Structure 1
Amino acid sequence: MDWSAAEAALVATRAVHFAATAITVGDVMFRTVIVAPVVRSEKAAAVSFEAPTLWVAWLGLGFAVISGAIWLVLQAASMSGMPLDEAMSADVLSTVINETQFGHVTTLRAGLAICLAACLTYDRTAIARWGGFAAALAFAASLAWSGHAGSTAGEAGYLHLAADTLHLAASAAWIGGLASLILFMAAARRNKVISLAHDVVRRFSIMGMVSVATLLLTGFINAAILVGSVHALVVTDYGRLLLLKLVLFALMLVLALVNRVVLTPRLVPAGRGALRWLTRNSAVELALGLAILAIVGMLGTMHPAIHLVN
């Protein structure tokens, strides 16, 4: 796995873009389907929570847009074979945007980012919040067309795209939602509304279980298409990196299980102590999730294992 400076920059940019997208989408999903029904009757708690998490969505979207623009320029340099400064010309960029699938996807995602920004601006209205939810889901799922799934041919390509869109949405719901969950638990501790935190954590846990089931199923499909065999998983750089991703995923599952089975039932009797442990565990869980997204940034630039093993 020897990368040039340009390839390393592309990997780093992809990793930042995936992480920013996940945090933005996860925040929108968390606020819409997890928190809103719980804090509907608790205006003070709602206000103390809404401000910091809305900033998370804005910051995440900003990083996603900036990293997306850098990704476009780096991809233009890679596709044209030109130095970076020459690839930034209007002619090269317009060719990439108008005549390649990557360019079309980038244009679509730019439009979705604008829609999401408009919905975040008017976030307090129900129509804007649910419009933002739909735009956020599409913003995450559309990444599938910029990776290996977008270039898989035939009927396997349709299956691969379907699996990857679900995989990306589930990743955003779980990994991205953790950042907002941590902020909510901090606000709940400050405002001493432990019962609200219990309800939110329980609802997030249910969404997490759905996300895990989706990730396991779609991950198996993606691995079958891109790796193909246990041998390829072991002997290729792509396969070994995927194994590392699976190890980090397993560690996230262990932490999530501890949170669900041990700490969440203790929230009401133990109060702030259990909430503090939940916050710490969730922070570690988020760090592992961001490491997984960094690996995803690497995998997308590598040849799939199935192409390297006979």
Structure 2
Amino acid sequence: MVPQDLQRQIWAQLAPHRRIAVACVGVSAIVLLPIRSAMIGNGWPDALNPDMLLAIAFDTTVGTAWCCQIVATILLLFTGFVPGSMNVAATAIVSALLLASLSFTGHAVMNDGWRGVLHQANDVVHLLAGGAWVGALLPVFLILPRLEDSSTRDQARAALSHFSMAGHLAIAGVILSGVTNMLFILDGLPTDWTFEYQRLLTVKIGLVAAMILAAITNRYILVPRIVRHRGSRALAIGTMAEIVLAIAVIGFVAWSAMLEPAA
């Protein structure tokens, strides 16, 4: 979605952020299995119990998810050695696999049979659409200053136009798959606030609605101003607002992932 010259600049600028992110993924993947072992077993003494670790890794759905995440993390480390422009595609593909592996655990595996398969498939769509939306925000934020430079202005405008078109699809995917996930889990709206999960889900829905409002404001109010050589600063603020809201949404998802959704 970004012209080649500008793509190389942004990719190089993202390099330190990418290394930090991959390191965080690697560390979290390594420590996740001992934490799961302590939760399922008899507390922290089982966190490093070899028999418990092996049983969870190879005999449970959370273990299957963990094995997939470890493989994807190793592949993600190796993408750093892929040469040239193929590095971008390799990183995107492996990151998508890593996101999709999250559908093997949590509420996505609460159903059996075809309902379970459809639930997991829908969860993959939700994860990938959300990843595309949130993942594009930082590159967009880094592209915006290029609008002030006459040598990169046209490329930056073209990139923003492409991101805008893809963003519509990603947001639509998040909304449709999110509603479908809610119906799979709750068979309705989160109206029973005696359950912490439903309270958190309500807050998450409000945050996503705020993200959508920010995205609409950015696209239909601020982007047209850029065409008239105004508004790039306001668009940068709007994009940062989306990033902050996205971090909050991910936090609420992580918090609620293992909670009992309903009776």
Aligned twin of 1:62: 23
Report the TM-score when normalising by structure 2: 0.91
Aligned twin of 2:77: 117
* Secondary structure of 2:68 counterpart: helix
Aligned twin of 1:303: 260
The one of 229, 237, 244 aligned to 1:280? 237
Report the TM-score when normalising by structure 1: 0.78
Shift of 1:102: 1.2
- Cα pair distance change 1:76/1:189, threshold 3 Å: farther
Shift of 1:233: 4.5
Gap regions ≥5 residues in structure 2: none
Range that drifts further, 169-178 or 109-118: 109-118
* Secondary structure of 1:109 counterpart: helix
Shift of 1:58: 2.2
Q: Does the alignment pair 1:105 with 2:70?
A: no
Deviations 1:190-235 (A, max 9, x none): 6762222222122112121111111111111111121223474444
Map 1:79-94 → 2, pairs under 5 A: 79-82=40-43, 84-94=44-54
Aligned twin of 2:96: 137
Find the aligned partners of 2:148 and 2:75 in 1 and give their Cα distance.
34
Deviations 1:94-147 (A, max 9, x none): 222122221122112211122222223225143x44333322211111111122
Preserved contact between residue 194 and residue 268 of structure 1 (Cα < 8 Å): no
Q: Does the alignment pair 1:170 with 2:123?
A: no
Aligned twin of 1:202: 161
* Secondary structure of 1:93 counterpart: helix
Aligned twin of 1:265: 224
* Secondary structure of 2:84 counterpart: coil
- Cα pair distance change 1:125/1:260, threshold 3 Å: closer
RMSD of aligned Cα (Å): 2.0
Find the aligned partners of 2:192 and 2:145 in 1 and give their Cα distance.
41
Find the aligned partners of 1:191 and 1:153 in 2 and give their Cα distance.
57
- Cα pair distance change 1:184/1:233, threshold 3 Å: farther
* Secondary structure of 1:229 counterpart: coil
Find the aligned partners of 2:120 and 2:47 in 1 and give their Cα distance.
29
Greater relative contact order (Cα 8 A, min sep 6): structure 1 or 2? 1
Find the aligned partners of 1:130 and 1:277 in 2 and give their Cα distance.
31
Find the aligned partners of 1:214 and 1:167 in 2 and give their Cα distance.
7
Preserved contact between residue 160 and residue 222 of structure 1 (Cα < 8 Å): yes
Shift of 1:73: 1.6
Find the aligned partners of 1:65 and 1:241 in 2 and give their Cα distance.
28
Q: Aligned residues, how many?
A: 263
- Cα pair distance change 1:123/1:286, threshold 3 Å: farther
- Cα pair distance change 1:199/1:89, threshold 3 Å: same
The one of 239, 255, 258 aligned to 2:214? 255
Shift of 1:281: 0.8
Percent identity over the alignment is 24
Preserved contact between residue 185 and residue 275 of structure 1 (Cα < 8 Å): yes
* Secondary structure of 1:56 counterpart: helix
